[in-house]
Amino acid sequence: MASSPTTEKVVPYALLGMTAVTGLVDAVSFLSLGRVFTANMTGNIVFLAFATAHVSGLSIARSLTALLAFVVGAILGGRVMARASADSQIRFAAQAFLLEVAFLFAASFCGIGYRSDLLKASFQPFALIALTALAMGTRNAAVRKLAIPDLTTTVLTLTITGIGADSSLANGNNLRLARRVASVAAMFLGAALGAVVINYSISAPLWLATAISAVCSAGLVRVADHPDNRDITSSESRDA
């Protein structure tokens, strides 16, 4: 990935915004779509296992829908990022994030008029699960390609492990402590906000997630088009 002062300033903030979106999306899926995660596939696999063991309140169909849609989204994001060279990853990641925005936009429309009391009798929750999982899978493929440490946007286990394992108590220096804490805080705040806003309607947190994703994507587009990055690209081309 081409690196410049502008890139190093903007990209981490954009990914932190995406991390907050993860909290919003999983608040919607867990609280209103039948105890399923559409962003956190680790949790979703566990729910799928519980549902297979006939734990009440969980659904094999809903968890499988989330898993399969997430994989399809990852394939879409992977195809976008496969075209990216080392110096154009941000540009292609922004394209993948715009796909995320499109899926979240569709989910926001789909959620209009949704009633959780019709969960078992309606196709609507499956559409919402599929659309949000597609969005998260597409984004994760792009974030994985960018490979920015401690900014995976969905998985916090290793991030939290790093906070402890690299701390002074473990004889470490924890150079990325601020980024790690910010990542945890972003997901926490996104999930908490989602839990509050969803009391108004299921569409409300989805519209908010769409807006945040759109702003973050726009920021990455501006980074990709910034003169600093174009200069780096031109320089790398000449060196090659």
More confident residue, 217 or 87: 217
Q: How confident is the model at residue 19 (pLDDT cuts 50, 70, 90)?
A: very high
Instruction: Reply yes or no on domain 12-239 having CATH 1.20.1250.
Output: yes
Average pLDDT, the chain: 87
Residue 114's pLDDT is 82
Residue 228, pLDDT score: 58
Report domain extents, the chain: 12-239
pLDDT for residue 45 is more than 90: yes
Residue 226: is its pLDDT beyond 70?
no
Note the helical H segments in the chain: 5-32, 41-52, 60-81, 89-110, 124-146, 157-165, 177-197, 203-224, 227-239
| Dihedral Cα 17, 20, 22, 27, nearest 10 deg | -150
The per-residue pLDDT for range 68-111, each reduced to its tens digit, is 999 999 999 999 999 888 778 888 999 999 999 999 999 999 99
User: Quick one: pLDDT band at residue 232, thresholds 50, 70, 90?
Assistant: very low
Phi-psi sector, 3: left (phi>0), alpha (psi -120 to 50), beta: beta
For position 87, what pLDDT does the model report?
76
pLDDT attached to residue 174: 83
pLDDT at 5 over 70: no
- What's the pLDDT score for residue 122? 74
Tokens 């994989």: give the residue. 71
Work out the average pLDDT over 28-48. 94
Q: Residue 174, exposed/middle/buried by CB under 10 A (0-12, 13-18, 19+)?
A: middle
Distance of CA 47 to CAs 6, 21, 137, Å?
Answer: 41, 21, 18
> What's the rounded Cα separation, in Å, for the pair 238 and 132?
42
- Cα(first)–Cα(last) distance of the chain, in Å? 15
Measure the CA angle with vertex 145, ends 140 and 149; round to 5°: 85
pLDDT for position 120? 64
pLDDT on residue 227 = 57
Give whole-number Cα distances, 92 to 21, 48, 129, 194, in Å.
Answer: 20, 33, 25, 29
Widest pairwise Cα distance in the chain: 62
Mean pLDDT, range 198-216, rounded to an integer: 94
Question: Are the C-beta atoms of 63 and 48 separated by less than 8 Å?
Answer: yes
Residue type, 95: Q
Give pLDDT, residue 234. 34
Q: What is the pLDDT of residues 144-196, one digit of tens each?
A: 998 888 899 988 998 999 999 998 889 888 888 999 999 999 999 999 999 99
How many whole angstroms separate alpha carbon 130 and alpha carbon 186?
24
Given a cut of 80, whether residue 3 has pLDDT beyond it is no
Of the pLDDT bands very low, low, confident and very high (cuts 50, 70, 90), residue 233 is very low
